[in-house]
Structure 1
Amino acid sequence: MKRYILHTPFSIYHFEAATWDHSVHKHTYFEIIFILKGSGIHRINGNAFQYAESDVFLLGPEDFHHFDIQELTEFSFVRFNESIHKQLPGDKDRPWQPIIRTLLNTSSQSRGSIVADKQEKQKLHHLLAVLEAESSDDQSQYFEVIRDGLMRSMLIILARNLFSQTQSRPVRKDSIEAILMYIRQHIYRPEDLTIERLAEHFHYAPAYISLFFKKQTGESLKQYIIRHKIKLIEARLLYSQLTLSEIADEFGYTDESHLCKQFRKYTGTTPIAFRMRV
């Protein structure tokens, strides 16, 4: 399956289409998809969702999708990497930081369009209009500050809507989606991602949860966790100034050497070489 790559922390792609020319694909980034007009079917992770004007979708790096366009559709794709919401000095105690982190590490796509309320959709589309206008002058000294404020507001509104949906339509605790959600939420705590801990949390035998995960995803539980972690580390290397020691500490590695060894095993290159190649 093709994987699209974003080489900058942020971009907006606004276009109209009568037919969808892209094959089913994944990304290395997140994207908020706005439907400005038109209708059709949005196929996400094997599920089909009818879409219409003003719908809003949020996709993460592991989501795969494509559109079946039934009526000429105007799209706006807001694409961004995790680094755009990097924690700055003084941010640690800001209440929106954990909300955004939880949103980006929560599987949202078995629910289709995140926002149902008309007024909530209007708020998001107004923010999009301002964001697109500001992006036309992205060399301005004020652009990044304005962009980050607008993006933060968008994501908080999406989180508010997604989490209210989650409360009214809870994910089954024994579903593969629940396991994937748990992994994404605990990816920085390796002690919570052992087979034994996962089996205990989901009330499965350790051997069974491994077989269940492999059957549902085609990949072993251990391999999925490592590859998801490596994907996040690649984003840190490309879009942050964190040292290898700081990255190793963030992701729970015993030391920098352990991080380098595992990174090279799964990517074929060292973290330093990966960071310097762009």
Structure 2
Amino acid sequence: MILLNWQEIFYINRFTTSRWDPQSRDDVYFEMIFIEEGSGRISLNGKTINYKGRDSFIFSQEEKPEIKIYETTTFIVYRLTQLMFSSKINLNERQYWLRRCEYIFNHPKRSFDTAVRKMEDQDLIWRIIFFINKENSNKEQYYLEIIANMLSTLLSILARNVTDTPFSKELLLKSAKKTERIDEIYAYIRYNIYDSKKLKIANIARHFHITSSTLSNYFKKETGNSLHNYIILYKLEIVKDRLLNSEFTVSQIAIQLGFTDESHLTRIFKKYCDSTPKQFKIDNGQE
């Protein structure tokens, strides 16, 4: 296997400027912009946020922020590229990165805002950034492995800050708004989508301190869909994304998402999507 260069997978750039020049983002899968110092504003989809030193922002490929600088700003930009999905990459951390990114992108409460709101996490983020930049500059023995481990920690902190509301095991028993209750169930499922054991209805119910029947009936009543069906449909959305945007085989995707094997995934996919995974790729110009 010909391995990709590290820089093709994880892009690191630190620069100071008084004018933001938009760069091509065609290869971007996940972008992190950290403000070391300076001030200005960042706009996305009609919403504008004034930034200052130590602020952090995260964007998907489809999200193209507009940046206006008021005071000369030092930016630190990290990018995970689409080549993360390539079969030519052999990084142990890749699956973890993908899972954390998917959780962040798909969290029901995610909105355009500063990515880190907890002060203690903000301090931790900047310590990690310091050491990533140091390792990348010095390039001493094992520096790539060290950066990969620190990036995993960084993504976990960002995932933790997607919402200020932590999982509440008593949410369904108290007077929270219905949308908040459902969002907590959605969030739990999406966070654990690769862990089939934690997705068992009995285990989800145990997490929220209610019975399986209460959880199932409540979810069906509020969403019009069964909990089992929702989990399958969410997995299939990930399957479709992997089929169209990665070099993973159907067999590899099946294993990643907890299906028994390729035939199991194919059977479920055909039932819900009216085609096989391979036909889906062909229909969407990927074969």
Band of TM-score, shorter chain: 0.5 to 0.7
Aligned 8 A contact 1:49 1:112 in 2: yes
Deviations, residues 32-83 of structure 1 (Å, cap 9, x unaligned): 2100111111113432111111001122334332212222221111111566
Deviations, residues 16-44 of structure 1 (Å, cap 9, x unaligned): 23223228977641122100111111113
Aligned 8 A contact 1:103 1:159 in 2: yes
Which residue in 2 is equivalent to 1:132? 133
**Superposed CA RMSD:** 4.8
Change (3 A) 1:173 1:26: farther
Alignment of 1:79-94 (within 5 A): 79-81=79-81, 85-87=93-95
Deviations, residues 213-237 of structure 1 (Å, cap 9, x unaligned): xxxxxxxxx9x99886544345541
Match for 2:266: what amino acid? T
The secondary structure found in structure 1 opposite 2:128 is helix
Runs of 5+ consecutive residues of structure 1 not aligned to the other structure:
1-5, 89-95, 190-196, 207-221, 271-278
- Offset of 1:121 from its aligned partner? 2.0
Aligned 8 A contact 2:242 2:253 in 1: no
User: How many residues are paired up?
Assistant: 228
Larger radius of gyration: 2
Taking structure 1 as the reference length, what is the TM-score of the superposition? 0.60
Change (3 A) 1:105 1:42: same
Deviations, residues 174-211 of structure 1 (Å, cap 9, x unaligned): 9xx99x9799669879xxxxxxx9xx7684679xxxxx
Which residue in 1 is equivalent to 2:286? 269
Which residue in 2 is equivalent to 1:173? 179
Aligned 8 A contact 1:35 1:73 in 2: yes
Distance 1:115 1:258 in 2: 41
Taking structure 2 as the reference length, what is the TM-score of the superposition? 0.59
Segment of structure 1 superposing worse, 143-152 or 254-263: 254-263
2:266 is the counterpart of 1:254: yes
The secondary structure found in structure 2 opposite 1:263 is helix
